[in-house]
Structures are given as structure tokens and as C-alpha cells.
Structure 1
Amino acid sequence: MNPIDQLKIIESNTVDFITNKDFIEKINNKKELKVKLGVDPSRPDLHLGHAVVLKKLKQFQKLGHMVYLIIGDFTARIGDPSGRSKTRPLLSEDEVKENSKSYVEQAFKILDPKKTIVKYNSEWLSKLSFADIINLTSRYTVARMLERDDFNKRLKDNQPISISEFLYPLAQAYDSVMIEADVEIGGTDQLFNLLVGRKLQEEFDQSPQVVITMPLIEGTDGHLKMSKSYDNYIAFNDSPKDVYGKMMSIPDDLIIKYMKYLTDIPKEEIKSYEEKIKNSKINPRDVKMILAEEIVSMLYNKEESKKAKENFIKIFQKKEMPEDLPEIEVKDGETILDVITKTGVFSSNSEIKRAINQGAIRINEEKINDFKGLFDFENGSILKVGKKNFFKIKKV
């Protein structure tokens, strides 16, 4: 495929693309580009927020390019300061190793293993001497570091910034130098770090990498970016039925955005769904079911997707669960009794106990037997009280 056509495919749905000219030149100069993604295993699971970038990498692979997946087993011990208002706690080597174990396996749910080279940045960063680090830091200024929004804000708020946090963007940039990356991709919160990579490559007499950023999608709550910290995520390792159920719990106004960034549904088809929803010619729930099937198929396969859909219909639709469920806010430490009381269905604790003994209280169709226990269920879980009282759990 010619460079212009490749550019049109890759540029679609991106936020930053620096620069088109560099991209065309690189395609003309070499057939196979090195496309880099760095991920720090600070937590054990990938979620759909990561899938936005991975789907873009898959496009590169389909065009014949090689993806370099850099597992930041060394940089994870520093902690990426992007978007942070305070210094991250440092992770131990054992924590990082544990978190790294399933990262590659999870990424391969989307990426083609045959077109992916996996590297761990401890391979080169752990070998740097103090003299090497001094040499590295001499190639970037404190003034440039403080141009970064989160550093600048912390400085104005008299919040500390550790030297290790200054080193993080340089360490990530050095990864690009070591593999001679042609392209680096990340979320919009990574723009500063990726641009440091361009600068450092020039310092090492390399052609600067093309920088591409993708949007950060909102989580299942519809407000905050998807994150384990906000408990609004859909993990790659969630079961098919949980993925499907969580997808069905997202607000209607996220349907088109998720389709756009997380599926291979053609643009024209997505546009058609958008118009039909807008003009009330289709129930958003039906479009959401199509989306949920696509996501389960992406993470598992079509057979599991079909089973998850059948399970959802059996549990929820055939039992006439209302579409717009009232939410029950739940705080950490609350008991099952506390939460059921909030529904207002029962007038006394004795009625609640009786209903539990009769098997009339269920969470995600699991029968509740102990009203004294802590309410330890995920955000978005469905609480069923009696035959026709349904509530959606909202963790606060």
C-alpha cells in the first residue's frame, strides 16, 4: 500500500500526529517500521483503556509493520508521573515481576504475536552506570521538564517533585533510542514523554520518531477516564459474561465512542447507528448489545460472545429487568444489610432477613445467604430484590 493510503488509515481517530511529513518519509525510506508501545506493569491487568492503543497498533501490523512492546519492568519501579498530583509510591522488584507475568499474554488478545517483538527495558536501563545517567540528563533541561503541565502545577502548589520523576521521561525516551523506534504511540497523557523521545533520538543522531496519541476513554461510569483506581474498568481478564454485562451497563452516550475506538465496525455503519439513536429509530440497548458482542469477540471469540449474550438475555431480559435501573450508592465497609435497607423495599430488618432466608435477594443472580457480611461486589453489579426490583450498584 502506498504511503498516503497508509497515512489515512493510521491517522484516523488519532489526537496528535507528529508529523505527517516524517511518517511519509519513513514509509518511503523503509518498508517495515518499528512501532513502539511502552507499558509499565504497575498493576496486573490490562483494561479496555489500553485496547484503544492496541487496536491502533494492530492496524500497523496489518500494514506490514513490526510492533515493539516494551515492558517497563525497570521504569515501573520509578513510576510514571503523568497526570499525577503527587509522587507515586515506588514498587518493589518482586511486585513488578508479578505484574509483568500476564501483560504479554493479555496484549496478544489483540496484537499479532508474529508481528510483535517483546522487550523488557531493564535489559538496557539496569546496565547504565552513574556516568551514563549523568550523560543522559545533560541532554535535557530542567526548564523543559517544568513546561510539563503536571510538574508545573505541582511546583505552583508547592508540592514536591522527586528527581526520579524527572528521570522517568528520559528513561522512556532512552527506550526509543535503544530500539531505534520509527513511531511511538500512547494515550494523550503521554504526549510530553513521547516528545522527549523525539528530542533524545536527535541527540543520539537518530531520525526522530513519529509521535501518535490516542484519546483516553471514559470508564463504565461515563465520567472519569477508565482506570482500576476509579473502579470503572473492564479488564481483559474479566470473564466473557462479566465483560458483556459491564458493557451493557455503560451510559448510552458512550456507545458510539466505544464502537469508534474499540471495534472494527465500519465507519459508515457506526454513523448509521449514531443517526438512528439520535432520531429514536433504534433502541440504544440493541446497539449496545451489538457493541458488547464485538468486545467479547475481541477478547475471547465469537462462540464465547454468543454464550455471553444468551446468558445476559436469560438473566435480565426474560426476567423483565427494567432498562433504566435506579442506582444504589455503596461505600467501603457497608454490610449487605446496609445496602438492602437503602433500596426502601423493606420496612424492617426482620423483613430483609426473611427475604434472604427465602432466597429472594440476589447479586448478579447469585443468592445472598448472609446479611451480616460486608458488601464486596463490583461497581455496576445488579442487585435483585424480590421478583421485579432491580438496582445497579454504584461504588462511591
Structure 2
Amino acid sequence: MSGLGERAVDLVPPGGLEAKLALGRPLRVKFGVDPTAPDIHLGHAVPLVKLREFQDAGHTAVLIIGDWTARVGDPSGRTSTRPMLSAEQIEENAASYRQQAFRIIDPERTEIRSNGEWFGGMGLEEVFRLAGSATVNQLLRRNDFAGRMAADQPVSVLELLYPLMQAYDSVMVEADVEIGGTDQLFNLMLGREIQAHWGMAPQVALTMPILPGLDGVQKMSKSLGNHVGVADAPEEQFGRTMRIPDAALAEWYRLLAPAEPAPGAGPAVEDKRRLGRLIADRFHGPGAGERAEAHFNRVVRDRQAPEEMPEVPLPAGTVHLPALLADALGVASRSEARRLIAGGGVSLDGEPVRELDLDAAALDGRVIRAGKRRFARLRAGG
């Protein structure tokens, strides 16, 4: 197997990648993302790292931003229909995805395409032709659909179109190889069939393992809160990495830092620290990991305030603390802020605070802490 196939779970057909490489030309290696959320996390990074390996070997990365497939929603791993996003939400997310993907792949060797280029102007006759290139029997073989049908749960006609749309992307960009997670194998294999239907040489399907989230069990997902974002602050990346269960650590190293020595037999905490530094350095530059570790030691281990923190201006008069936490310190909502206060998770100069309404003048210059890692210095008269 070619070194480019290392760590792959599926590589179909057997010997297919070697045959493509033997063509003696740069391959077109496709990876698609649907901008259904504003951030890319480390779970997305696994196939992007593989895409970068192809780039470093001289091949062309074709990054498809699925602005039209996002309107349908990928049914992979779903037990219900995804909610449909607005065009505005999709475009905002797409802009963020493009920027964040280049923290991993080389922009100079990347061809960025949006599948709205071909689906946006597709007429009904072309839709008929695409729909006629596969059968319902083929689509219902997909585990997600078969399981929902067996449980008498609805499967929309729109969802049946999704695998076809992803497959047609491969036709339009003339993909030689498509990379995806193991949950994408059906879609990648359908891409081979649809390419053959259009008279093209079928792509090689290459799937990468699914990175477990911070819980060590479920797939990394922002909706589950078990993720590390590639655009997160280095302190946040390091701190979240320290939460990885020991049992998941070897897999994180294998998928995110394959060139690094595997975790040793010593204390897992040291390997977590090393990985946290590597992740912060990768996405924020050399030295970011060391600074993030120092921040972690001071704030989490030693329970001290960070050396640097943002200043939050306060309006004159009474300050409603839940509103301040939600609006200025990143707490998810005012109700969540109230729960945090009630549980003793909010302090002023190290002392827990229970009051919801405080005088701004009395808060001037004090350090507020919400949870483990949110700090700010309060300034009255802002």
C-alpha cells in the first residue's frame, strides 16, 4: 500500500490508489465539507491532515464547500431529518470554513469549489438525469436509511438526494480520490458508480477513522460539546486536550500527530500535555503551546488569575450579573449564568458571589471568574 494510504480504514478498490499514482500525473483529491456550523473542529482535521499529505506529495487538493448539500443536510449517522439552514447562515459558515481549513491545508495547492456552481443553475431535466443514475434500492442500502425505515422513522425524499449530490460533485471536479470519514463510505462508493455512469474513471474511496470526542466515546461534535475547535484560543485547546480520557489518547496521537512518538508507559498526563502543546502550536504557531501550558498551570492547577485578561467596562448603576456573564464573558445564556452563580462557579477576587445584582462602583478593578477559565477585570464608568 502507498504511504498515502496509511491510517486509512477503507481504501477501495484494493490496489486502486497505486494504479492512480502510476498514471504519473498529479491526482485530484477531493474532500467536501458542508458548512452546517461556523467552526471546524479536530474531527474535521483528521481527513484534512490526510489531504495535506497528498498535497505535500505533489497532488491537488479539491476542497468542496457544500453550500447546496448543506441545504439538504448529510444524513450520515442521523436518526432523524436535519433542520434546514438559511442561505445566510450557510454563507457565513462557509466563509469561516474556508479560513479555518487553511490552518491545515496549503492554500497555494488547493482548488476551492462550491457545489452551488453546478446545483444552483441545474434545471429540472438535469435533476431527472441525476435522479435516474441510481435506484431507490441502492440508496436504501445505506445503514442510516435502512435503520430508520426499520424503526418506522421518516426518511425524506430530499435526504435521498444527498448521496447523489455528493456523488455528482465527484463528476463535476473529476475526482481521482475522495477522502471522508468511515461514516461517508456509502457516499464515496456511490461517487464511483455515478462517475462510471457519466463515462469517467471511478475515484478511489479513502476513509479515515472517526476521532472520538473529549468523552472518548462519541464522535466529536460541537452539538455534543465534546469538541476542540481549530480556531479556539490556544489556552482553550490545551485545556480541553487535558480532558481526554487516557483510553483515547493513543488514538488522538495516531490520527492528529502521526509523526510524533506514541504515548509511553509513563503518566498519561505528560502525554496529554505534549499533545496539547502540539495542537496549540499547529493552529497558532510555535510557542503557543508553551504559553497555553503556562496559562493552564497558573489558572487550573494553581488556581490563580491569569497574568493577562480582558477588561470589561461596566455601565453606571446596578449591574445584573447574569447579563454580564452572558454578554461579556461568553457564558451560553443568562439562565446558564444563574446556574453557574448558584453552584458557586462565579467569584470576585477569589471569593464566590451569590448576588445577582451588584453596584458597578463596588466592582471597579475587581477580577471576575466564571467557571474554570473565564476571567476578566471589571472597570466602572465604561
The CA deviation at 1:29 is: 1.3
CA RMSD of aligned residues (A): 2.6
Percent identity, please. 38
1:153 to 144, 147, 150: 147
| Number of corresponding residues | 337
Cα deviation 1:223-262 (Å, max 9, x = unaligned): 2111011011111111111111111122122221111101
- Residue correspondence of structure 1 range 256-267 to structure 2 within 5 A: 256-266=250-260
Determine if contact 2:341/2:354 at 8 Å carries over to the other structure. Answer: no
Determine if contact 1:32/1:66 at 8 Å carries over to the other structure. Answer: yes
2:229 aligned with 1:235: yes
What is aligned with 2:372? Answer: 382
Determine if contact 1:336/1:372 at 8 Å carries over to the other structure. Answer: no
The CA deviation at 1:338 is: 4.9
What is aligned with 2:285? Answer: 301
The CA deviation at 1:372 is: 7.6
Distance 1:318 1:201 in 2: 58
Determine if contact 2:178/2:206 at 8 Å carries over to the other structure. Answer: yes
What is aligned with 1:192? Answer: 186
2:18 aligned with 1:17: no
- Residue correspondence of structure 1 range 345-356 to structure 2 within 5 A: 356=347
What is aligned with 1:80? Answer: 74
Paired letter, 1:288 = K
- Residue correspondence of structure 1 range 140-289 to structure 2 within 5 A: 140-266=134-260, 269-270=261-262, 273-274=263-264, 276=265, 282-289=266-273
Distance 1:332 1:154 in 2: 34
Greater shift in the superposed pair: 175-184 or 16-25? 16-25
The 1:65/1:11 distance shift into structure 2, 3 A limit, reads same
The CA deviation at 1:31 is: 2.1
TM-score by length of 1: 0.79
What is aligned with 1:68? Answer: 62
Distance 1:295 1:43 in 2: 21
- Residue correspondence of structure 1 range 22-171 to structure 2 within 5 A: 22-171=16-165
SS at match of 1:311: helix
Paired letter, 1:29 = L
TM-score by length of 2: 0.82
SS at match of 1:235: coil
Distance 2:47 2:281 in 1: 18
Determine if contact 2:300/2:372 at 8 Å carries over to the other structure. Answer: no
Paired letter, 1:122 = G
Paired letter, 1:118 = I
What is aligned with 2:351? Answer: 360
Determine if contact 2:299/2:372 at 8 Å carries over to the other structure. Answer: no
Distance 2:289 2:354 in 1: 31
The CA deviation at 1:13 is: 1.2
The CA deviation at 1:314 is: 2.3
The CA deviation at 1:336 is: 5.7
The CA deviation at 1:358 is: 6.2
The CA deviation at 1:383 is: 8.2
Structure 2 alignment gaps of length 5 or more: 305-331, 359-368, 375-382
Distance 2:24 2:121 in 1: 30
The 1:356/1:22 distance shift into structure 2, 3 A limit, reads closer
Structure 1 alignment gaps of length 5 or more: 277-281, 321-330, 343-351, 362-367, 385-396
Determine if contact 1:53/1:185 at 8 Å carries over to the other structure. Answer: yes
Distance 1:37 1:357 in 2: 48
The 1:248/1:370 distance shift into structure 2, 3 A limit, reads farther
The 1:356/1:262 distance shift into structure 2, 3 A limit, reads closer
The 1:12/1:371 distance shift into structure 2, 3 A limit, reads farther
Paired letter, 1:204 = W
Paired letter, 2:275 = L
Paired letter, 1:126 = G
Cα deviation 1:88-141 (Å, max 9, x = unaligned): 111121111111111111000010111111001100111211111111111100
The CA deviation at 1:43 is: 0.7
What is aligned with 1:365? Answer: none
Distance 1:89 1:337 in 2: 30
SS at match of 1:59: helix
What is aligned with 1:323? Answer: none
The CA deviation at 1:20 is: 3.5
SS at match of 1:20: coil
Distance 1:142 1:112 in 2: 39
SS at match of 1:117: strand
SS at match of 1:186: strand
